Copies of this chain bind each other. A is one copy, B any other.
Amino acid sequence: MTQAGSGLSRRALIGLGLGAAAAGVAVGAGAGSAAGVAVGRARQQETAASVYDFFGIHQAGITTPVQDHMHFAAFDMMARTTRDDLIELLQDWSYAASRMTQGLDVSATGAVGGSPQAPPDDTGEALGLSASGLTITFGFGPTLFETVEGEDRYGIAARQPASLAALPPFLGDDLDPAASGGDLCVQACADDPQVAVHAVRNLSRIAFGRARLRWSQLGFGRTSRTTSDQETPRNLFGYKDGTANILADDTDALDAWVWASETNWMAGGTYLVARKIAMLVETWDRVRLAEQDRIVGRDKAEGAPLSGGDEFAAPDFSATVDGTDAIDPDSHVRLAHPETNDGIRILRRGYNYVDGNDALGRLDAGLFFLSFQRDPQQFVTLQKRLSTDLMLEYVRHIGSGVWAVPPGAEPGSYVGAPLFA
């Protein structure tokens, strides 16, 4: 079943991918459709809009400056699919991602350049929109390598990273299987939600007959920063979140804590943990300010640690006020802090979410936590430490997943190619 192109074989798509990478946006701007309309969205691209390469040593969307919006999607491979199906899906996805991230339609004929007698390759809702900083990041879940029944569907079980395993249960978990796991994941981030949604929708369409969307999540209001000129945003508890995040230019920290140490097919890759964390905002909002500050360990106004200084001051966990710890030992900032966890750090890249409300009128809202680390154990260690977190009373982990994020694709190749070499 050829969904990705009408009249284009998958191999041809990959061939075009090479051309698209080499020629950049000129591919879209140069081609013309039957109707005389320039194909692709590049022609209306604002010069100020950010455009990130899809190809590279690492995948984009990890150290890329955090965009404003996210559509995250988890997919399951369909029954009776083969190793070739998986490879071709990754090839088709890589080609489509290499185009969409440049502000182009999903294929050369796109939304309006194909035959009027065929369904368009591209669904069209991003026509006229710029690349909007779109990044598309792919990940491989433990079940892709070996199903829970122990089946090696794609002949890759022997290459499953030792550190890639389902996360252990944590105190306070209330996981919904319908918002957890997945053989594959796609993180699409952009400054325009319509561009991120367009990416996931078209990747889902391309996957038709091979992989099926398992669950997906929209997010807004990034809750971290990855560059020092980004202001620290606030989560739905009203507190700054991500002050001490690993920044994109801190190459030492990235090497120490984010990029995988493997020298095999994962070299240049990383591991992604997603946690959908429902926040009981109505309950939180009834807590007095001083207690909110105590739980977080920072002040609400500036995000400064309660031991003093400004937002970026290092917390002093030994500081006391009137004989009491300035920062509560069970505060969130202390338990999550590297100092409490043998120096362990992670790169966070989460978003706020609101999915409407429940029958009692409470907002169905929270944090879609995303972190990248060289080993999922970093997250496991931190999350176990948070078992006495004062904040635990006000949050519920309702979704969870872990994926190996392979290195970036080389131009003309596809994400994950070294895994199948």
Chain A residues near B (Cβ < 8 Å): 33, 35, 37, 69, 71, 111-112, 114-120, 122-128, 178, 192-194, 197, 201, 204-205, 212-218, 220-221, 231, 233-239, 281-282, 285-290, 292-293, 299-302, 352, 354-357, 359-363, 365
Contacts and interface: CB of A to CB of B under 8 A. Distances in A.
Interface centre among A69, A115, A285, A288 (most CB of B within 10 A): A285
B361 A289 contact: no
A293 B116 contact: yes
16 contacts: A33-B301, A35-B299, A71-B354, A115-B288, A119-B286, A119-B288, A124-B234, A124-B239, A125-B235, A193-B193, A197-B220, A197-B352, A201-B363, A212-B361, A218-B354, A355-B356
A323 B141 CA distance: 57
A231 B128 CA distance: 9
Please give the count of copies of this chain that the complex contains: 2
A118 B238 contact: no
A285 B202 CA distance: 10
A118 B289 contact: yes
A127 B301 contact: yes
Contacts of A111: 238, 300-301
A363 B69 CA distance: 18
B204 A301 contact: no
A361 B112 contact: no
Contacts of A292: 120
A213 B301 contact: no
Contacts of A201: 281, 363, 365
B290 A125 contact: no
B236 A125 contact: yes
Contacts of A361: 204, 212-214
B356 A217 contact: yes
A213 B364 CA distance: 11
Contacts of A363: 201, 204, 213, 216
B215 A357 contact: yes
Contacts of A357: 213, 215-216
A114 B301 contact: no
Given A71-B354, A120-B300, A126-B234, 19 more contacts: A69-B193, A111-B301, A115-B289, A117-B289, A118-B288, A118-B289, A120-B289, A122-B238, A123-B236, A123-B281, A127-B238, A127-B300, A194-B221, A194-B233, A197-B220, A197-B221, A197-B236, A197-B352, A205-B285
Nearest to A194: B221
Given A221-B194, A352-B194, A361-B212, A234 B128 contact: yes
Nearest to A294: B116
A154 B128 CA distance: 50
